[in-house]
Amino acid sequence: MNKFINFAAGFLLASVTTASADDLPKLTIYTYDSFVSDWGPGPAIKKAFEKTCNCELNLVGAGDGAALLSRLQLEG
């Protein structure tokens, strides 16, 4: 499991945006579709992360590795 987390972390892109003082900070993470699916680890990690960091986490499935890399290159 540790290897999977390290592997997934290598392909994550995070961008933090802030809104007004009343809103929670938002963190968007682009990752594999299998990570964010109902049977993947994403939903459990999202829940724990939001509780720990007091922020809103948005997991975006960006397809497979090639599609993910293309999207990261486009969005910078």
Residue 21 lies in a domain: yes
Residue 3 lies in a domain: no
**pLDDT band for position 50 (50/70/90)?**
very high
Residue percentage of the chain with pLDDT more than 70: 70
Residue 1 lies in a domain: no
0.85 surpassed by pTM: no
How many domains does one find in the chain?
1
Residue 5 lies in a domain: no
Residue 53 lies in a domain: yes
Residue 6 lies in a domain: no
34 backbone dihedrals φ, ψ, rounded to 5°: -65, -25
41 backbone dihedrals φ, ψ, rounded to 5°: -80, -10
The span from the first CA to the last CA of the chain, in angstroms, equals 29
Cβ neighbour number for residue 55 with a 10 Å cutoff: 16
Which range marks the domain in which residue 57 is found?
Answer: 13-75
Total H helices, total E strands in the chain: 4, 3
**What CATH number did the domain enclosing 66 receive?**
3.40.190.10
